[in-house]
Amino acid sequence: MEAIILAGGFGTRLRPFTYTRAKSLLPILNKPMISYLIDSLPEEVDKVILAVNYRKNQIERYFRENDFGKEIIVNDEPKPLGTGGAVKFAEKHITGRFLVLNSDIICSLHLDDMVKFHIENNAVSTISLWPVENVSEFGVADVEDNGNIVGFVEKPKPEDAPSDFINAGAYLLEPEILDYIETDRLISMEKEIFPQIISDTERFFGFKFDGYWMDIGRISSYLDVHRFLIRKNKMENYLGRNCEIHGDLKDCCIGDNVYIGSNSKLNSTIVYDNARIEDSAVLNNCVVGENCKIGSHSNLKDSVFGDNETIADDSIMNKEVVWTQPVPEGYPKKQIGNVIGE
């Protein structure tokens, strides 16, 4: 079976870290986000098609250097085609029923169970469903008791929501679905293709699952997933190799070769490789990029520092995004494709 992994987005909401790397390679507990997804693939998936565009060379290199025991095809889109266009562009590699997976989700979905459910229901399309409290931020599925989805309602008021289940970013599709997608155009699978399949086939199903689901779309969810996994693994912190740590840490993830000076206090903070945090710095809910230098006696809260930035001694910052270098050419100013909002 083939799996298409959607990994071509710019990840604009995760800038400045996506200025320098593909979103799917952003580390989670020091391992690229996409590696969690590959590890969760059912054994019957023998071919993985990476639908890439932005920073494709980094993704290609990562898979050249790391063997996951499956055939990997890097399918480079000439321009961003959106989630639907990317699936259509992978058509030449599809030989039968196939999976489509967003690369920015960490969850406990068992894809094997979803495949079984799809076959039992003779579905043409099955999507994973996850319950949320804040329905008005999402496309909400109108789902019957047997799992049949009869429609989606975009960002409903809570009292108008047909359910509390949203699209959780994993799809199992029969190949005839490809006929619904036009070639060579930016198309949203969720907004343009799914509604058509529902009305034409009535064999569009939703698979609900238990456990956890986290969409790593924003810096806040990037920090949340770290806190969640650190606690799930019953750890105080997650530490990389060759670190020199003299300060106090709680719920932090620290990359390789990091120096943290004495009397510094870090809480719920992610520090990338080769960063240096000087004495008596206090960081709460921050992400510190690769090779950053954080000056002594700094007090930093809810802030992010892109790769290679230097923060002066005694700095005080709250809710700042620090990026003093040029923005990469062609990087969009705002979200393209499925606009979700800041």
- Binding residues for ligand GTP, rule: CB under 6 A, are 6-13, 23, 51-53, 77, 80-83, 86, 102-104, 217, 335, 337-338, 340
Tell me the closest approach of the beta carbon of residue 323 to ligand GTP, in angstroms. Answer: 15
Tell me the closest approach of the beta carbon of residue 126 to ligand GTP, in angstroms. Answer: 18
Judged on CB neighbours under 10 Å (0-12, 13-18, 19+), 241 is: exposed
* Dist. CA 143–CA 141, nearest whole Å: 6
* Residue closest to 172 by CA, chosen among 45, 13, 10: 45
Nearer to ligand GTP, 36 or 259 (CB): 36
Nearer to ligand GTP, 223 or 294 (CB): 223
Asked if 37 and 214 touch (Cβ cutoff 8 Å), the reply is no
Residue type, 168: A
Tell me the closest approach of the beta carbon of residue 221 to ligand GTP, in angstroms. Answer: 11
Tell me the closest approach of the beta carbon of residue 187 to ligand GTP, in angstroms. Answer: 9
Tell me the closest approach of the beta carbon of residue 167 to ligand GTP, in angstroms. Answer: 11
Asked if 89 and 51 touch (Cβ cutoff 8 Å), the reply is yes
Tell me the closest approach of the beta carbon of residue 338 to ligand GTP, in angstroms. Answer: 4
Tell me the closest approach of the beta carbon of residue 17 to ligand GTP, in angstroms. Answer: 11
> What is the SS3 assignment for the chain?
CEEEEECCCCCHHHCCHHHHCCHHHCEECCEEHHHHHHHCCCCCCCEEEEEEECEHHHHHHHHHHCCCCCEEEEEECCCCCHHHHHHHHCHHHCCCCEEEEECCEEECCCHHHHHHHHHHCCCCEEEEEEECCCHHHCEEEEECCCCEEEEEEECCCHHHCCCCEEEEEEEEECHHHHHHCCCCCCCCHHHHHHHHHHHHHCCEEEEECCCCEEECCCHHHHHHHHHHHHHHCCCCCEECCCCEECCEEECCEECCCCEECCCCEEECCEECCCCEECCCCEEECCEECCCCEECCCCEEECCEECCCCEECCCCEEECCEECCCCCCCCCCCCCCCCCCCC
Nearer to ligand GTP, 6 or 311 (CB): 6
Nearer to ligand GTP, 104 or 251 (CB): 104
> Which residue minimizes CB distance to ligand GTP?
9
Nearer to ligand GTP, 52 or 245 (CB): 52
Nearer to ligand GTP, 68 or 312 (CB): 68
* Dist. CA 87–CA 208, nearest whole Å: 23
Nearer to ligand GTP, 7 or 253 (CB): 7
Tell me the closest approach of the beta carbon of residue 9 to ligand GTP, in angstroms. Answer: 2
Tell me the closest approach of the beta carbon of residue 142 to ligand GTP, in angstroms. Answer: 22
Nearer to ligand GTP, 136 or 338 (CB): 338
Nearer to ligand GTP, 63 or 238 (CB): 63
